Amino acid sequence: MPVNSSQRTALGRASAALALAVAVASLAAPAHSAERTGNDEGAGTEQTAGSDETGIHAAVRVEYSGSVAPNGGTGNVTSADVNWEPPPCWYAPYLGAKDFKKKMSADIEEAAGTATGTAGSAIGQTKQHYEDEFGWEDHPGYKDYNVDKDGEGMFWAGVENPNEPDILKRGSCSELPFWVDNGEAPPPQFEQAIDPEMLAALAYQHMELPDTEVTLAPDGTTKVNLPTWSWLDKADFHEVQATAAINAPGFALQATTTAKPVSLKLKPGTDDAETYPASGECTINADGSIGEPYAKGKADQTPPCGINYLRSSGNGTFDLQATITWDIAWTGTGGAGGDLPDGTFGTTQAVTVQEIQSINR
């Protein structure tokens, strides 16, 4: 039984606010578990599938591994593109037909007990949608919750990104749960259906880069007009990977996001200083290091990467900011892959600058 656009709008507003909100509420608050990874650069965080007290298989969730923030938190990478953002929500496999019927029918019955007027009508239409093939436009209805196809596919539903601060964006995947056959792509109208590129963006969002401290010479305390050498050894300056994956019956995707260091930006913490090079940006060397270690006899030379402070820090210190830029790319299921915006992560080091003392005879 088709419905027109105004009926579909009413159905979407009312039933999404009631039946759908109840039916997929568990998706918006995923459980987290984390354990340290072998490289100690982050935590391997899993948002895993489980079962609730009724025995219904809970929502399939994204699993994170590699160098990622603990407990499902946002990582420490800042995108160089201020307009780029990870997905605020997505559609993903939710429940098989029999389990979906058990849960959705119970939620519809509960909502119908208190709904009246337009909301009550919308709840009734939602029930018809899943039981009596009540559909509209490119949203066909289902006969008895598709239980005759149990095991051949899953109902998909909207999942909120718990790290998205904008509540409107987070809740924008508000379509009613829809069926997808195993091995088939979601209907084209669901542009926010989870895919490898979205998983790569989520891995980016959770990625934890190493807290790299730049080596300085002199270390900690330097003199006015005495070049301070700065460098990073290759051993401390290497690529980092984070993986996001989703696994459901008949459906599995994964993407690995890789960050490779490419440059170091120095900000002395005062305008009364010179940087080497003048831009303050030290590029990566052929061997993967940045700058050049100081060695005896180089005191009068200009460092390829460093700072020259022109005044004392007095009784305090200057906050030297060392920000590393990372080239970020991804690969995923089916040979997919591409580039993501460069990422940055910086650390601050306290530097004491003293006047050179002279003795007058």
**C-alpha to C-alpha distances, 197 to 105, 114, 245, nearest whole angstrom:** 34, 41, 11
Give the residue, 234 or 177, on which the prediction is more confident.
177
How far from 82 is each of 72, 260, 337, 341, 342, CA to CA, in Å? Answer: 23, 20, 22, 9, 11
Tokens matching residue 171: 């809740």
Give residues with Cβ within 8 angstroms of 178, minimum separation 6: 91, 139, 155, 156, 186, 187, 190
Mean pLDDT estimate for the chain: 83
- 356 has pLDDT over 50: yes
Confidence of residue 59 (pLDDT cuts 50, 70, 90): low
- Polymer length of the chain: 361
Residue type, 64: Y
Report the C-alpha gap between 207 and 342 in whole angstroms.
13
End-to-end CA, the chain:
104
Greatest distance between any 2 Cα atoms in the chain: 104
Q: Are 227 and 307 in contact (CB under 8 A)?
A: yes
Global pTM reads: 0.82
pLDDT tens readout for residues 155-169 = 999 999 999 999 999
Which one, of 241, 208, 167, lies nearest residue 74 by Cα? 208
162 token code pair: 């718990």
Is the pLDDT assigned to residue 304 strictly greater than 50? yes
Alpha-carbon distance of 247 to 62, in angstroms, equals: 8
Tokens of 137: 């436009």
Q: Decide: helix, strand or coil at residue 275.
A: strand
> For residue range 265-286, what is the model confidence (pLDDT) as tens digits?
999 999 999 999 999 999 889 8
